[in-house]
Amino acid sequence: MNGRSTPRGPWSRGPGGIGLPPLTPAPTDLVALVAVVFVTYSLQFFTSTQILPALLRLTGLVWARGLVWQLATYPFSGYGPPSVWILLELLILYWFGRDVFYQLGRRRFWQTVMTSAVVAALVAVLVEVLVELTSGVPALTAPFSMMQGQRVLLTITIAAFATLNRDATILLFFVLPIQARWFLWLEVLFGIIAFLATKDLAGFAGIVTAVGVTYASLVAGGPRRMLREWWLRLQKRRLQAELERERRKRKLEVLEGGRGRKEPPRQGPWVN
């Protein structure tokens, strides 16, 4: 973290009560991000400009035509039908993104967002390719509707906020108070519900991956250290299993940490 105080959003409250809107200035990066998503969202509804968001959006053309840039550009292409709901999505993105930006700083914020988005896209594409290979149905423009545009950005920023502020209280739907840590699982739950409605398996895999990668990037020193800890735990369990097999084979009693039953030393017949 960069040592700055964390501004609270109007959806959260701490020990002192409902959080008030912060007096800190709006991060320029975040304002630009919200503006780009809204502009690309608007461009899709005009015949002359809809090609731009279509080229930025994640589709099956990644592997069919080699449009690999879509793996990194799809978060910036606003997605969805014409609806005022987009305004609420962008507002929530700004709220959570602002707190995460101030906590992480510019460099780590963008590193977290882009790493999570790209890895999520790679997993989603892999799942879609496997689905096509097993079903035999080609899909050159797979929608990945669950994770397009602002939806993956919302997933990443909310997961980052929940990881960095585990004990903060978020007003779910602006009414129900829930500790931030539970939003990691709520995002997965909402993803399951969305999958039941859309049958978008690739998009669901991408959402779950985005949550997991974001969490791993911000906790326990990052994904590399986290994987190393998992490897060490696996090795420990393997060694314990081998030791247990040797004990059963040789009928030995293993004393852990010097603990266990201590028997007195045997004495010869010459000792009174």
pLDDT digits (tens, 9 = 90+) for 56-115: 999 888 888 889 999 999 999 999 888 898 999 999 999 899 999 999 988 999 999 999
Concatenated DSSP letters of 22-67: P-SPPPHHHHHHHHHHHHHHHHTTSTTTTHHHHHHS--THHHHT--
**Is the pLDDT assigned to residue 2 strictly greater than 50?**
no
pLDDT of residue 142: 60
Assigned architecture for domain 12-219: Up-down Bundle (1.20)
Whole-prediction pTM? 0.72
Q: What is the mean pLDDT of the chain?
A: 79
Work out the average pLDDT over 240-252. 74
For the chain, domain boundaries: 12-219
Residue 225 confidence (pLDDT): 60
Per-residue model confidence as pLDDT tens digits over 134-174:
876 665 556 788 999 999 999 999 999 999 888 777 776 66
The amino acid that residue 25 corresponds to is: P
- Per-residue pLDDT band for 253 (boundaries 50, 70, 90) equals low
What interhelical angle do 150-164 and 85-104 show, nearest 10?
A: 40
207 or 219: whose pLDDT is higher? 207
User: Residue 50 in contact with residue 134, Cβ under 8 Å?
Assistant: no
Residue 3 has pLDDT above 50, yes or no: no
- pLDDT at 169 (0 to 100): 74
Residues listed for the chain? 272
Mean pLDDT of 240-244: 79
Give residue 229's pLDDT: 64
Bridge partners for 170 per DSSP: 12, 178
pLDDT at 259 over 90: no
- Radius of gyration for the alpha carbons in the chain, expressed in angstroms and rounded: 26
Q: Choose the weakest-confidence range: 24-33, 65-74, 238-247, 263-272.
A: 263-272
Give the count of beta carbons closer than 10 Å to the beta carbon of residue 63. Answer: 16
Q: Which of 22-31, 42-51, 73-82, 127-136 has the lowest mean pLDDT?
A: 22-31
Nearest to 38 by CA among 178, 162, 153, 183: 153
Q: Please give the Cα distance from 18 to 85 (Å, whole number).
A: 25
Burial of 48 (0-12, 13-18, 19+ CB in 10 A): exposed
- pLDDT digit string, tens, across residues 166-214: 877 777 666 677 777 888 888 889 889 988 888 888 899 999 999 999 9
Q: Are 183 and 173 in contact (CB under 8 A)?
A: no
Describe the strand order of the beta sheet including 169-172 as a list of residue ranges.
Answer: 17-18, 12-14, 169-172, 176-179
Whether the per-residue pLDDT at 223 is higher than 90: the answer is: no
Residue 166 backbone phi and psi in degrees, to 5: -60, -35
Residue with more model confidence, 18 or 264: 264
